[in-house]
Every structure is written in C-alpha cells, then in structure tokens.
Amino acid sequence: MQMDFHYYATYCAAFLAGYSHEESLDIAYSAQFVDECSRTLLAKIKGPLRAATTQLQLEMMDARTDPVGRQDITRIWSSFHFLPRDLYASKPHCSRLYLNKYRLICGPNGDLAVKTVELAKGRPLQSVGIAMHVLADTWAHANFAGTPSLVINNTNHVFYELFPEEDGFREKLITFRHTTSTPDDLENSIYTNSLYQRNENTIMNLGHGRAGHLPDYSFVRYRYLPAWGDYGEIIKDNPSDYMKAFTQMIRAMKYIRGEEKVFEKDVYDTEASGPWRDRIRETIEKRQLSACDDWRALGEELSGHTIDVFSTDRYFEEYMQSSKDEKDETFLGRFILGAIAHKGMVISEIQRSKNMLAGVARAGFFKRSGA
C-alpha cells in the first residue's frame, strides 16, 4: 500500500472509528511513518537502530543475505509489511527449510493480526498507527512473504489484469519491464517488476517485488500463479480487499478505543462507513497511480478540518532536542517504543513456532518498550 491508504485512508478510518481530528492525524502519521523509519533515518535523528520498520532501496542493495543478514531482513519485513497469516501452516512432504518460509506467507485475518491489534490497545496513538499499517498490509501484500525466497515469492509469465465487463471480466496479459525510472503505464497494463533471479535468497526475491507494484494499487484486479501455490491460480481482487482493509481498520480502532469488547477475525465495521460507501468504493476503484487527492478530500469532508500534507521530518526537531530522559515521551519516542514492542512480539511468535528465520528477540530488545 502507498501513502494514499496508509496516511489519508487511515485518517478517514480513524475519524470514522471515533477519534478526533488531531488524534486521527497522529494515527495516520504513525501509520505512514512505518514506511519511512529506516536505519538511515534513525541514524540521522540518533534513534535506536533496532526500531527500524523499513529498509531503504540503498540499504537493501547492500543488505547481507547470509543467515544472520536474512534474519535482519525478515524481522523488519515480516513484522511490519508482510505479517504471516499462519505460523503453523502445514504442507505435506516438504522440508523444514521450505516449511519455515511457507509459514511466513502474509495474509489477512491471522492470529498475528489479532495479536497486533491487541498489543496496540492501551498504548499511545503511535502504536495504533503502527498496528493499522500492519493490518492494512496483510490485505495488500497477501500471498507474498517478508523474507527473500524464490520458491515462495516468484511469479511467472501467467499474469493477467482483469477488467470488469458485463457479467464477467476481460483479461489482458500484463507486460513487465525492469525500468524503475519509468512510471507504470496503467493504460497499456505495463508495470515495473524486479528481475528474475535464480538465487533463492537474493533480495530481489523479497516480498512482492516480482509482481511489481500491483499489490499496492487499490483499483487493480489480476490473476497469476504464485510460486508456492502448486499450480493453482490466484485471483487478487484489490478493490474488494482494500474495502475490507478499510472497514477492518475501523473495527480494530473501535476495539482499541474500548467501543468493542473483542477484536475478532473476519469482522468488519460497515456501519460507520455506510453513508460513505459509494464514495469510498469510487476512490478505491479509480485507475490512478496515487489516490492521495481523493482520500484527502474525503477525509476533509468527514472531519471538516484540513489534513496536513505528510512530511517525514515533522517531529524530528522535537525528538532530537529532547534530553535522553524525555525522548520516550516525544512523538517519535513513542513511535520507536511502539515499533520495538510490535517487532519483539512478532519475532517471539515466529520463534515460538520453532522457526528461526527471524532470529531471537532477546530480553534487552523489549527493554523500555513495555511489551
């Protein structure tokens, strides 16, 4: 997902869940900041590097892909962008090495998604934003794993875009290219993806790189053959998934606010968004590279307030100028503690399933995070 959903749509969902304009802005900022908080950024503000929630392109190009390096990559990407659906999934006749990767495949409505939301309850708004980012990504990034793997994340030439037409869908073969400098050509279904690499553990086989940005576009529907799917095709209906993500975020935030007693899987709040349903659907289905303007207009209409344009460094000064004792109480300090707590929870759960791909969360990792 992109800024349009992580920032503006999250703002809308938070407001519909009952948060004030200011609170919704904080949640939305935190949700988007998950895509910004790299080690490079943390080094710049002198924050703890273990709180990284993403890796920059340059960081990834230099990332080690030996077992220790892969654990580092998996900790970040599985925790914040590709939350595993089922850490105890089974598949007959496969090796433990394969199974460990297979179990990290991301998807919505898993146990870890519930734990993510539960962990955010009673914590600052920054943790709520982090949880909403993770929850939303379980829909967009479904069927890919947050660990480098050819046998899980690869795709092949069977990749068709589906266009609704009368009773069914018209199919168009997708053309992929490897030029990141050229924007995706929505008109002609030409998208950029990462190169095919035979090496199982190369960084090029991380997440949905082989499917390009298709999972990040709310309007697109496509069918393809995932490498792990035993030749079974997947039809990915992003408009439907993004709507579910939006209504599940509202439900989750109502639970965090105490309006709902439990947060259950596969339960969505369609009531709060009901009056805006057609407008939301229209925004989600509009073919465009970024839906920021549409979501922003909706958010401003909902709350009657202007939504500030996202600016990464909004809270840098506050954090950098605070004394060591005060840092935890700053906006970014709370974000950092929330990120460490969430990452620690996910690593522990992966480790508990006897899967060492994310390594071990040492006691010191949680120190001060309150997890």
Partner 1 sequence: MTLFQRIKKILYALLMIAAAIILVALPDDNALDIVLFFVSIGFAIKGIKDIVFYFVMARHMVGGKMILFQGVVVFDFAMFTGTLTGVPQFYVMIYLISIHAFSGVIEVLRARESRRTVDGFWLMKMSHGIINIILALMCIIYIRDTSTAVTIYSAGLIYSAIMRIISAFRRTSFILIE
Structure tokens at 319: 């954090």
**CB burial string 61-78: b at 16+ within 10 A, e below:** eebebeeeebbbbbbbbb
Q: Considering the rule CB under 8 A, would residue 195 count as an interface residue with partner 1?
A: yes
Per CB under 8 A, which region of 11-19, 146-154, 306-314, 350-358 contacts partner 1? Answer: 146-154
84 forms part of the interface with partner 1 (CB under 8 A) = no
Residue 356 found at the interface with partner 1 (CB under 8 A): no
- Nearest Cα neighbor of 145 from 39, 213, 228 is 228
Residue/partner pairs of 157-160 with CB below 8 Å, 24 or more apart: 158/223, 158/224, 158/225, 158/233, 159/211, 159/222, 159/223, 159/224, 159/225, 160/222, 160/223, 160/224
Closest CA relative to residue 43, chosen from 30, 56, 32, 31:
56
Nearer to partner 1, 8 or 319 (CB): 8
Q: How far is the CB of 241 from partner 1 (least distance, A)?
A: 16
- For residues 253 and 113, give the distance between their C-alpha atoms in angstroms, rounded to a whole number: 13
Toward partner 1, which CB reaches closer, 16 or 339?
339
Q: Does 216 bind partner 1 (CB under 8 A)?
A: yes
289 contributes a contact to partner 1 by CB under 8 A: no
Taking a C-beta distance cutoff of 8 angstroms, is the pair 103, 95 a contact? Answer: no
Piece in contact with partner 1 (CB under 8 A), picked from 124-132, 221-229, 338-346, 358-366: 221-229
User: Radius of gyration (Cα) for the chain, nearest Å?
Assistant: 20
Contact 334, 84 (CB under 8 A): no
What distance in Å separates the CA atoms of residue 116 and residue 131, rounded to the nearest whole number? 6
CB of 121 to partner 1, least distance (A): 26
Least distance in angstroms from the C-beta of 229 to partner 1: 7
- At 49 the three-state DSSP class reads helix
The single residue among 84, 107, 207, 333 that binds partner 1, judged by CB under 8 A, is 207
Distance CA 155, CA 166 (A): 29
Q: Which stretch binds partner 1 (CB under 8 A): 14-22, 88-96, 280-288, 336-344?
A: 88-96
- Can residue 172 be called a binding residue for partner 1 (CB under 8 A)? no
C-beta of 40 vs 180, nearer to partner 1: 180
Our CB check for partner 1 shows the closer of 16 and 245 to be 245
Residues near partner 1, by CB under 8 A? 1-3, 6, 35, 57, 60-65, 77, 81, 91, 94-95, 97-98, 101-102, 141, 150-151, 154, 156-157, 159, 175-180, 190, 192-195, 197-200, 202-204, 206-209, 212-213, 216, 225-231
